[in-house]
């Protein structure tokens, strides 16, 4: 499969840009050699001129800027060769025109193509003015075909590059979001614990132990995430499922985080959560973690914080409500964490709203469960 993918990429990409021109020039040079031996009393200089011209035509694949200029300099020699020489090197004019189109050298092609066409038409019509319409029509069609094919290759390459850029941008966005979701809440806890120790002036070994353990966990999470990104189909199943969510455990852990930080937390659960499957529990867990991160950053610990999770056969709802300081109430939902929550909700087919109300900050997520398997099929 990898070999086939490489071949397809080579045909669409580097093969067209680096191999196609030399290959066409080689085929034309082969025809020149065969023609030389088939035609009696053929002048050897005519063969050498054809071979040099084909070599110059192939040069553009390796020297895109200088190659077409060298080619037209060699092509001008056909203006001075005797009319009775039998040559086929003029046909190579289609090769650099095609190559300039493939590489997107539109301005250079626009300048050089008329000069090339004038040389080959003049050479073709030496002593044969009666065939002007036929020869002119042939060369116009041939040049137009090479022009259009080159443009088609260029558009294909541009579309591929754009697709790659979009894919890379999407990957960078996912990496940024996952790094934020996985590591940010642990680092937030470390910062809060360290700040609390500084404010209180304590040297509690438990604080140092907690900071050390949480920092080690962040490093492990980073390694696991990198391994997950490198894993493709058929890889290590542990690497693919290292963050398989357990919604009740996540809810309990986040409530305990807030209580440890001094918040008065009420967690209310209605309906079954243990058997949630699919993308919804993943989204719910990350949204809950990020919402609690925001509570820790901006919440008022002297006032209650409430977490509601309600599940039914068709809908799963999450609401996190906390009081905030007045300066934080005007925060707009455009920060990275809030954007990440919205993306998670949308990816799972749900929606998320973040709104201030009566000096409280409300994060509400709703997921329809009709299109997901909520309860695993069991015998």
331: left (phi over 0), alpha (psi -120 to 50) or beta: beta
Residues 10 and 142 in one domain: yes
Q: Which residue has the tokens 């609690």?
A: 292
Question: What is the CB neighbour count within 10 angstroms for residue 368?
Answer: 14
Domain-located, residue 102: yes
pLDDT in tens, 310-331: 988 888 899 999 988 655 555 5
Domain-located, residue 226: no
Domain-located, residue 170: no
CA 248, 253, 254, 258 torsion: positive or negative?
positive
Greater model confidence, 276 or 16: 276
Residues 141 and 260 in one domain: no
Q: Is the CB of residue 305 less than 8 Å from the CB of residue 258?
A: yes
pLDDT for 326: 59
pLDDT for 335: 59
Residues 156 and 249 in one domain: no
Domain-located, residue 58: yes
Instruction: Give the DSSP per-residue string, 240-288.
Output: HSTT---HHHHHHHHHHHHHHTT-EEEEEEES--TT--SHHHHHHHHHH
pLDDT in tens, 342-379: 877 887 788 999 888 777 889 999 988 754 333 333 33
Residues 151 and 267 in one domain: no
Count the domains in the chain. Answer: 2
CATH number reported for the structural domain that contains residue 252 in this entry: 3.30.565.10
> Partners of 367 in the beta sheet?
316
Please indicate, yes or no, whether the overall pTM of this predicted structure exceeds 0.85.
Answer: no
Q: 347: exposed, middle or buried (C-beta count within 10 Å: 0-12, 13-18, 19+)?
A: exposed
**Full residue range of the structural domain in which residue 302 is found:** 245-379
Distance, in Å, from the CA atom of 82 to the CA atom of 109, rounded to the nearest integer, reads 28
Span 2-28, mean pLDDT? 65
| Contacts (Cβ under 8 Å, ≥6 apart) of 161 | none
pLDDT in tens, 64-102: 888 889 988 998 888 888 877 888 888 888 889 988 888
Of the residues 118, 141, 163, the one at which a domain ends: 163
Distance, in Å, from the CA atom of 365 to the CA atom of 318, rounded to the nearest integer, reads 5
Of the residues 123, 145, 163, the one at which a domain ends: 163
Domain-located, residue 156: yes
Span 334-338, mean pLDDT? 62
Residues 270 and 128 in one domain: no
Distance, in Å, from the CA atom of 139 to the CA atom of 125, rounded to the nearest integer, reads 12
Residues 48 and 153 in one domain: yes
Domain-located, residue 141: yes
Give the pairing of strands 360-368 and 315-323: antiparallel
Domain-located, residue 215: no
Domain-located, residue 190: no
pLDDT level of residue 302 (50, 70, 90 thresholds): confident
pLDDT in tens, 201-257: 777 777 777 777 777 777 766 766 666 555 544 444 444 444 456 788 888 989 998
Give the pairing of strands 351-357 and 360-368: antiparallel
Of the residues 116, 132, 163, the one at which a domain ends: 163
Residues 158 and 250 in one domain: no
Distance, in Å, from the CA atom of 79 to the CA atom of 123, rounded to the nearest integer, reads 6
pLDDT level of residue 52 (50, 70, 90 thresholds): very high
pLDDT level of residue 6 (50, 70, 90 thresholds): very low
**How many angstroms separate the Cα of 291 from the Cα of each of 63, 232, 307, 352, 354?**
57, 31, 10, 11, 10
Span 259-274, mean pLDDT? 86
Span 155-180, mean pLDDT? 74
201: left (phi over 0), alpha (psi -120 to 50) or beta: left
């Amino acid at each position: 499969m990898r070999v086939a993918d490489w071949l397809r990429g080579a045909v669409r990409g580097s093969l067209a840009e680096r191999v196609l021109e030399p290959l066409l020039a080689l085929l034309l040079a082969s025809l020149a050699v065969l023609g030389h031996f088939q035609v009696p009393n053929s002048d050897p200089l005519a063969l050498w001129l054809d071979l040099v011209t084909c070599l110059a035509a192939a040069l553009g694949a390796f020297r895109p800027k200088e190659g077409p200029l060298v080619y037209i300099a060699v092509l001008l020699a056909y203006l001075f060769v005797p009319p009775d020489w039998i040559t086929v090197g003029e046909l190579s004019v289609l090769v650099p025109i095609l190559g300039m189109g493939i590489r997107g050298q539109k301005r250079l092609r626009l300048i050089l193509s008329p000069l090339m066409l004038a040389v080959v038409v003049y050479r073709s019509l030496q002593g044969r003015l009666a065939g002007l319409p036929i020869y002119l029509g042939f060369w116009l069609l041939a040049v137009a075909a090479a022009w259009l094919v080159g443009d088609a290759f260029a558009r294909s390459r541009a579309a591929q590059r754009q697709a790659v850029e979009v894919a890379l941008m999407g990957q960078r966005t996912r990496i940024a979001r996952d790094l934020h979701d996985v590591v940010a809440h642990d680092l937030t806890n470390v910062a809060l614990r360290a700040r609390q120790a500084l404010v209180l002036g304590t040297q509690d070994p438990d604080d140092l132990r907690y900071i050390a353990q949480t920092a080690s966990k962040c490093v492990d999470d980073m390694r696991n995430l990198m391994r997950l990104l490198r894993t493709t189909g058929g890889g290590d199943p542990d690497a693919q499922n290292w963050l398989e969510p357990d919604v009740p455990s996540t809810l309990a852990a986040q409530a305990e985080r807030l209580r440890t930080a001094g918040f008065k937390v009420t967690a209310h659960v209605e309906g079954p959560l243990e058997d949630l499957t699919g993308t919804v529990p993943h989204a719910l867990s990350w949204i809950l973690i990020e919402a609690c991160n925001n509570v820790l950053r901006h919440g008022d610990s002297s006032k209650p914080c409430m977490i509601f999770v309600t599940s039914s056969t068709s809908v799963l709802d999450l609401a996190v409500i906390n009081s905030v300081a007045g300066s934080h109430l005007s925060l707009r939902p455009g920060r990275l964490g809030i954007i990440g929550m919205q993306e998670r909700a949308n990816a799972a087919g749900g929606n998320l709203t973040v709104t201030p109300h009566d000096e409280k900050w409300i994060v509400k997520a709703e997921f329809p469960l009709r299109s997901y398997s909520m309860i695993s099929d069991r015998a």
